Amino acid sequence: MKLTILGGGGFRVPLVYEAMATGATGLQVDEISLQDVDAARLRTITEVIDGVRAQLVADGRAVHPPAVTATTDLREAVTGADFVFSAVRVGGAEARTVDERVALGLGLLGQETIGPGGLAYALRTIPVALEIAGTVAEVAPEAWVINFTNPAGIVTEAMRSILGDRVVGICDTPIGLVRRVGRLLGVDLVAGERGSEVDYVGLNHLGWLRSVTVDGVDRLPGLLADDDALEEIEEARLIGKDWVRADGALPNEYLYYYLHTASAIDRITGSATTRGEFLAKQQGDFYLAAADATGPAAQTDAAPPSAGSTPNHETDSAGGSCCSSPVDLWRSTLHEREATYMAESRDEERREEDVAGGGYQEVALRLMTALATGHRERMILDVGNISADQQDAPASERIVPELPADAVLEVLCEVDGNGVHPLPIAPIELGRLGMMSTLRAAERKILEAATTGSREAAWQGFSTHPLVSSPELGAKLLEGYIAGHPQIAELFSTR
């Protein structure tokens, strides 16, 4: 079995390798093909994976370590793939800082996926995502594409126009919320222990856990009434216990940016750096230090090696490494990255149990295993409002009848060898439906702009986002992102 990871020089890729090599779900992957436009980063990540493999073997945890290849060629990487992880960041971490600063300069929220920064991210990413989808359709038409690329909802929606139901978006934040609630109740809600059911609905980074049924009883009202229980739920601490109690639901943590926008802006602008600036420096320092640790060969633009080849470590006279190994540097940097996640929303350090969640790689591995083996799994995924071959069916057959048939929603699904099957949900309350429809309408204008080169559509998208709501600010945002992003400037200059 071949897995291709697009964005293979990305910082989180070794986590995926580790999950595959330890065989946590019993699925055996024979080859992982890493593809990235940055050959130097590919080289560094293959060195890290070498270190991860060596540690797993030494610890007796390596069950079936896959062979790893690396390339900068998209078609080569995708050809023959059974699964494709799309985890690209167009423009790198540096582009994220532009997304943030343009918005903050206008007094608006500057964040990776929420607000105008998320729209700018989508605008420069969708053309690349469509190219990826077209390549997969041509050279690996039976492959399943698992989309990690943010903003995951609208990017997955764009890719579905080519790949249909064979592309699924994933995010670890909803399942993290469900697991925290399950720990409190002593029930594995993901596995459906004791006949448990959960009702989670929304868009990516805009969703709510509305009921948790165990042994036929909805346990959520009791949790919401219990301050001690809410103290153990990260989302309730972020957004406010009184608010979640009044709302009657537990929100995705990203609702913080919608419900506490002014506070978020103040905290971000009061920090020395934005999150994007922090990550750009942190990861830049990591890649430089890791290159130093592996020797001069790692700093060239030569084609990256396959993992498993002998690293070129400099040694001292005692035969030991002259400096920290790439894998040790990576693990240290990873923990700092996860511990500071959404730091602007917290008055305390992130709790260790919240840092240690399963993450994208675990959700993706479970999804792969279910599709490949038929072993049933339940997970919250980004899927079409109705299957791609039923777009003309009555609206009543959609997950959310009030939303378009081709809209991508985030809901609990059952996955098996026949595909991904969304589970029924209760009708959506008017306020939640309004938030979802307003956001997706703005994102769809950005999708239109990305596929047609329409400046007018992009202006409408920025202007009508619920955290902007201003044609004047929308115009300034568009001009700022055109000036700051070569990809966006090119989009409008060539159409």
Alpha-carbon distance of 167 to 130, in angstroms, equals 12
Instruction: Give me the pLDDT at residue 304, please.
Output: 56
Q: What is the pLDDT of residue 313?
A: 38
Instruction: Give pLDDT < 50 ranges for the chain.
Output: 297-302, 309-323, 350, 354-357
What pLDDT shows up at residue 355?
A: 45
Question: What is the C-alpha separation between 487 and 495, in angstroms, rounded?
Answer: 13
Residues 107 and 261: their CA atoms lie apart, in Å, by 11
For 260, residues 6+ apart whose C-beta sits below 8 A from its C-beta are 239, 345
Per-residue model confidence (pLDDT) at position 343? 60
Phi, psi dihedrals of residue 15, rounded to the nearest 5°? -65, -40
Structure confidence at residue 191 (pLDDT): 86
Sign of CA dihedral 105, 108, 114, 119: negative
pLDDT of residue 335: 83
Q: Would you say the C-alpha torsion 192, 195, 196, 198 has a positive or negative sign?
A: positive
How far apart (Å, rounded) are the C-alpha atoms in residues 46 and 52?
10
Between CA 212 and CA 198 the distance in angstroms is 5
pLDDT, position 109: 97
Residue pair 11/337 in contact (Cβ under 8 Å)? The answer is yes
Q: Which amino acid is at 210?
A: R
* Cβ neighbours around 25 below 10 Å, total: 19
